Amino acid sequence: MKNTIEKLVKFASQKPGLTFADYGEISSYRREMREITGDLHDFREFLNLAFIRLDSDFDRKLTEYLQKSGDRLTLNEAGELRYITGQYFPTEYRPACNRVLKSLIWDSLRETKDSDGNYIYNDGDSIRAYFKKNLSRKCFRNYFR
């Protein structure tokens, strides 16, 4: 049986399913493909950061988050990922994965304490500074405007 991390990686890595006939010109189609590919690069950045921050608890926290989440990406009782499309699946599914990972990392940072029991990241600005330091400019700009 696959763990939840493997399911999320498989989901984010699937082909977007764009249909060239839906685009009036090649430039529009290629622009959309570049954006979708960029979303996959962002996913990989968030995934690497999640592995660093969450370590051995990553799969458990991801599973709990997806089961309790009211977002579009959830884990049902059978352990399957379900995504509810807003307008256009090919451009939405990877950002949905990125938002899940961003939330998990954010929550992890919010709970981090130093040796004296004081919270290290005690406000949103300090958490955003952590993300800015550990993500590419493009990825940070896409998810922290």
Q: By the 8 A CB rule, do 86 and 107 touch?
A: no
Q: Which letter, b or e, does each residue of 133-143 get, where b requires 16 or more Cβ atoms within 10 Å of its Cβ?
A: ebbeeebbebb
Question: Where would I find the H helices in the chain?
Answer: 4-13, 26-54, 58-68, 89-110, 124-134, 137-143
144 to each of 2, 63, 75, 98, 139, how far by Cα in Å?
31, 24, 25, 12, 8
What are the structural domain ranges in the chain?
Answer: 4-143
Dist CA 83 CA 47 (whole Å): 19
pLDDT of residue 103: 96
Whether 40 and 13 have beta carbons less than 8 Å apart is answered as yes
Q: At which residue do the structure tokens 């290629």 appear?
A: 30
Reading the chain (145 residues) residue by residue, the pLDDT tens digits are 469 999 999 999 999 999 888 888 999 999 999 999 999 999 999 999 999 998 888 999 999 999 998 789 999 989 899 999 999 999 999 999 999 999 999 999 999 999 999 999 989 999 999 999 999 999 999 999 8
Predicted confidence at residue 1, as pLDDT, reads 45
